[in-house]
C-alpha cells in the first residue's frame, strides 16, 4: 500500500534508527526505497545490514541539493499507490502507517496528508505548533486556503517525514524541484500539492520525530540565501493568472521570504535583493521594519536576537 522513500547523504549514525522505525510498524504492507545520494561515509553499508526483501537500495553517483533528486528517483522506483517520505535521520512512531491507512480508507477523496510531529534536540522535545490548533487525535481536512492560513500563522500542517501523497498526484506535478533550488524545495512541493488537490488532511497525533541534533544537516550548512522556491512559484502564478486567495498567497510568500531574510541575517550573509520580492501591500508594517535592515547596526541587533531565540528547526 505504501512506498517509503528514504534519501540519504552521509547519515550513517542514524540509519538504523530510521529504518527500524519502518520495519517495526504495526502495519506491514510497505516497500522501502533507500536512495544513497553519493554518501562518502558508511551509509550504504548501514542500510545493507537489513535483511528484508521489502527494502530496495539504490546509489546515485552525484548528490543533489536538499535530497530532491534522490526523492524523485525513489518515487520513480515506487510501485505502491501512496508515497511516504522519511529522512534518514528522522523516525516514525510505530503506529504511523496503520493510522495513515485507516484515514485513507475513511476519506476516499483525500490525496495529500500530513501528521503532527515532535522536534528533538537530544535533550528536549517540542511538539509542532500545529498540534495545539486542532482537537487531539482527530483527523481534519483543510481546504487550500486553510493550508495557507495555518502556515502564515506559523502552524504549518505538513512536515517532510510525516507527509504522504497519492503517487498519481505527485507524478502529475513532477515532484520536488530538483535542479531549481538548493533549499526550501519541500515547502514549494507541499504548496503545489495542496493547491492542486485543494485540500489537505491533517492527523493530529504525533507520528514522527524530527531530530535536529543529527549529523550533516542541510539546514546548518547553507550559506547562500537565494529566493525561496515557493516565492518564485507564487510570483509566477500571480503573473500568469488571477487565482483565488490572492491576498493569502502574497502573505504566504512573504512568510517564507521573511524566514529566508532572517536566516541570512543570522548567518551574517544578508541578501538585500530578497526584499524586492516582498509584497508590501499586504504587510505594510513588516515592510517598514524590513527596510531598517539596510543599517548594519539593526542587522547586528537582530542577529543577536536570533542567536538567543533560535526560532528555526535546525
| pLDDT score for 311 | 61
| pLDDT score for 222 | 56
| pLDDT score for 219 | 54
| pLDDT score for 314 | 36
Question: CA 238, CA 131: separation in Å to the nearest integer?
Answer: 31
| pLDDT score for 67 | 94
Which residues are CB-contacts of 51 (< 8 A; sequence separation ≥ 6)? none
| pLDDT score for 310 | 67
Domains of the chain in start order, with CATH, are 2-218 (3.90.550.10), 223-309 (no CATH)
Contact of 242 with 138, CB cutoff 8 Å: no
Rounded alpha-carbon distances, angstroms, from residue 74 to 33, 63, 68, 104, 243: 6, 14, 10, 22, 32
Quick: pLDDT tens for 72-123.
999 999 999 999 999 999 999 999 999 999 999 999 999 999 999 999 999 9
Q: Which residue has the cell 544537516?
A: 217
Question: CA 244, CA 15: separation in Å to the nearest integer?
Answer: 43
All residue ranges of the chain with pLDDT < 70 are 216-224, 310-314
Question: CA 203, CA 144: separation in Å to the nearest integer?
Answer: 16
Amino acid at each position: 500500500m505504501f512506498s517509503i522513500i528514504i534519501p540519504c547523504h552521509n547519515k550513517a549514525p542514524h540509519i538504523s534508527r530510521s529504518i527500524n522505525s519502518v520495519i517495526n510498524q504495526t502495519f506491514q504492507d510497505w516497500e522501502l526505497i533507500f536512495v544513497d545520494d553519493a554518501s562518502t561515509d558508511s551509509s550504504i553499508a548501514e542500510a545493507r545490514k537489513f535483511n528484508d526483501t521489502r527494502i530496495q537500495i539504490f546509489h546515485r553517483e552525484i548528490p543533489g541539493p536538499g535530497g530532491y533528486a534522490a526523492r524523485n528517483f525513489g518515487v520513480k522506483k515506487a510501485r505502491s499507490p501512496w508515497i511516504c517520505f522519511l529522512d534518514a535521520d528522522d523516525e516514525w512512531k510505530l503506529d504511523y502507517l496503520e493510522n495513515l491507512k485507516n484515514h485513507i480508507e475513511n476519506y476516499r477523496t483525500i490525496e495529500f496528508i500530513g501528521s503532527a510531529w515532535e522536534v528533538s534536540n537530544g535533550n528536549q522535545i517540542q511538539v509542532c505548533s500545529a498540534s495545539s490548533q486542532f482537537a487531539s487525535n482527530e483527523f481534519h481536512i483543510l481546504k487550500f486556503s486553510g493550508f495557507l492560513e495555518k502556515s502564515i500563522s506559523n502552524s504549518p500542517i505538513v512536515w517532510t517525514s510525516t507527509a504522504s501523497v497519492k503517487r498519481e498526484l505527485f507524478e502529475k506535478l513532477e515532484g520536488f524541484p530538483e535542479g531549481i533550488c538548493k533549499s526550501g524545495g519541500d515547502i514549494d512541493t507541499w504548496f503545489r500539492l495542496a493547491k492542486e488537490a485543494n485540500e489537505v488532511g491533517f492527523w493530529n497525533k504525533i507520528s514522527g520525530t524530527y531530530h535536529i541534533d543529527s549529523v550533516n544537516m542541510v539546514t546548518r550548512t547553507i550559506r547562500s540565501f537565494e529566493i525561496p522556491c515557493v516565492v518564485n512559484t507564487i510570483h509566477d502564478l500571480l503573473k500568469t493568472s488571477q487565482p483565488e486567495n490572492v491576498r493569502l498567497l502574497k502573505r504566504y510568500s512573504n512568510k517564507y521570504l521573511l524566514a529566508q531574510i532572517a536566516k541570512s541575517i543570522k548567518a551574517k550573509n544578508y541578501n538585500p535583493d530578497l526584499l524586492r520580492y516582498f509584497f508590501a501591500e499586504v504587510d505594510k508594517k513588516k515592510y517598514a521594519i524590513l527596510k531598517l535592515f539596510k543599517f548594519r547596526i539593526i542587522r547586528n541587533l537582530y542577529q543577536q536576537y536570533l542567536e538567543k531565540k533560535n526560532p528555526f528547526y535546525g
